[in-house]
Amino acid sequence: MDKQQDPLQSLGERLAARRRQKNLSLAQLAALTGVSGQDIAAIEAGELDPTITTLVALARGLGLSPSELLPPE
């Protein structure tokens, strides 16, 4: 049986990948969303569990729905 990846790590990887696809720096995404660059970096590293408000803000800043950042079930 395969061990599933940590959901926070998966969320962080998906967020980082989408940010890079949009060619946005941490500072640029922070300016678009009102979420600090430090917090975005911590979320991308899987070290910070974002609130739903933060998740929605990040998704909107990237032009996504929040579900697109969540790991698959």
Domain boundaries, the chain: 7-67
- Give the distance, in angstroms, between the CA of residue 73 and the centroid of all CA atoms in the same chain: 17
- Tokens 């890079």 found at: 20
The CATH fold assigned to 7-67 is: 434 Repressor (Amino-terminal Domain) (1.10.260)
* pLDDT mean over 40-54: 97
58 touches 33 (CB < 8 A): yes
Q: pTM for this one?
A: 0.90
**26 or 4: which leads in pLDDT:** 26
Which amino acid is located at 46 in the chain? G
Rounded Cα gap, residues 1 and 36, in angstroms: 38
Question: Tell me, what's the pLDDT at 4?
Answer: 65
CB 66: neighbour CB atoms within 10 A? 15
- Counting Cα atoms < 13 Å in the Cβ hemisphere of 44 gives 18
Question: Tell me, what's the pLDDT at 1?
Answer: 32
How confident is residue 72, by pLDDT bands cut at 50, 70 and 90? confident
**55 or 3: which leads in pLDDT:** 55
